Amino acid sequence: MGSIPGSAHPAFGFGAVTIIGGLVGYLKKGSKASLGAGVVCGSLLVGSGLMISGESQYGGHSLAAGTSTLIVLGMGQRFMKTGKFMPAGIVATLAAASSAYHVKKALEWKD
């Protein structure tokens, strides 16, 4: 695999933040949904980073874009319901930025 390309770093970083956020939600509020969603979505993002680092840049960026979009939908809905920027609003904002970045990168790699 060699060195990790720069375009994989956002997937790895947001994946780690998502997993940690799910764990914090569980530890603070006992939310099994936060833990499950954080681990699943974060793992998908880390997996997409591995794909981007390997031979599947288009697939990796597409997976990261799709996963980030799901996070936007879930946390955006939660933000609209509660009006609380922390954590739902900030996570939705980060996920929207991640989705936009990975859509742009996937289009660059599309055949």
Encode pLDDT of 10-64 as tens digits: 999 999 999 999 999 999 999 999 999 999 999 999 999 999 999 899 999 999 9
* Token pair 């799709």: residue: 66
Per-residue pLDDT for 110 more than 60?
A: yes
**Strands of 8-108, DSSP E:** none
Integer Cα distance of 53 and 106 in angstroms? 13
In this predicted structure, what is the pLDDT of residue 3?
A: 79
Integer Cα distance of 97 and 30 in angstroms? 28
In this predicted structure, what is the pLDDT of residue 14?
A: 97
In this predicted structure, what is the pLDDT of residue 66?
A: 98
Per-residue pLDDT for 2 more than 70?
A: no
Encode pLDDT of 62-88 as tens digits: 999 999 999 999 999 999 999 999 999
